[in-house]
Structure 1
């Protein structure tokens, strides 16, 4: 267990003062966030939210994938989500590399073929963001009263800018 000892120890310290138990799983602020898995992004903090306020989904590039879409349908029908932010970000590897370049890098690292891997790299981040926003706005299982917005988070300033 030594390989995770530092994290388990940190969790024990966290749990000593943990007082956020008992939530029912409903997004208290009615917010759903789709953003990138980039560790420079703190979804709750960047929007002034706190634990329990939002459902957060992370994907490479902050793209709305099949699985993300499934989760959002559940979130709007069962977990109180009424507003969804899709948040791309500046200096994103998924927007600054081609799918082939990313596959090549993975193949070099893994030492095996990755041609079968679905990678959602994009040559035009804003066009992909617009497509994802439209995908949600027009999905038959996302009610019309759910507000969907497309944003770009600047990893150097901490600001988000609405694009769609």
Structure 2
């Protein structure tokens, strides 16, 4: 396991200074966030939040998938979520490449045919954001129980712009 030694060492340092224990797992600020897995996004800091304030669900493109909806339902009913933000971002690979392009790139990287792999690419990011927000707003187990907003995060400025 030498490939992980640097991370294990960093974790030991983290654990020596760990002061986040005892957290109850609820969203203390009542926030849930669906956003992209992109490392340019710092979900808590971009909203002025801290550890324990929000439930965060990340996936390619920041899409409201069935798994994201599952997390949001649990958040609303069990984890104090009262406001939900759906936040894709600028310069996202899922919104700037076609499914065919991604299949070719992944196939080349893997050295095997990836034409069968599904990638949930987005052809119109703002329209897809509005659709994803509508999925949350109309979900029978969420609906009026939480405020829902759709925002685009600019990875070059750090600003959010509301679109839904």
TM-score band w.r.t. shorter chain: over 0.9
Residue in structure 1 matched with residue 125 of structure 2 by the alignment: 125
Q: TM-score, normalization: structure 2?
A: 0.96
Given that 1:37 and 1:60 are in contact with CA atoms closer than 8 Å, whether structure 2 keeps it comes out as: yes
Does the residue aligned with 2:155 lie in a helix, a strand or coil?
A: coil
Could you tell me how far apart the structure 2 residues matched to 1:151 and 1:86 are? 6
Does the residue aligned with 1:108 lie in a helix, a strand or coil?
A: helix
Q: TM-score, normalization: structure 1?
A: 0.96
Q: Which runs of 5+ in 2 are unaligned?
A: none
Could you tell me how far apart the structure 2 residues matched to 1:115 and 1:71 are? 30
- Report matched runs for 1:24-103 at 5 Å: 24-103=24-103
RMSD of aligned residue pairs (Cα, Å): 1.0
Could you tell me how far apart the structure 2 residues matched to 1:14 and 1:74 are? 29
Does the residue aligned with 1:144 lie in a helix, a strand or coil?
A: helix
Residue in structure 1 matched with residue 156 of structure 2 by the alignment: 156
Given that 1:99 and 1:122 are in contact with CA atoms closer than 8 Å, whether structure 2 keeps it comes out as: no
Q: Which runs of 5+ in 1 are unaligned?
A: none
Could you tell me how far apart the structure 1 residues matched to 2:88 and 2:143 are? 23
Matched length: 164
Could you tell me how far apart the structure 2 residues matched to 1:143 and 1:76 are? 10
The runs of 4+ residues in structure 1 deviating greater than 2 Å are 111-118
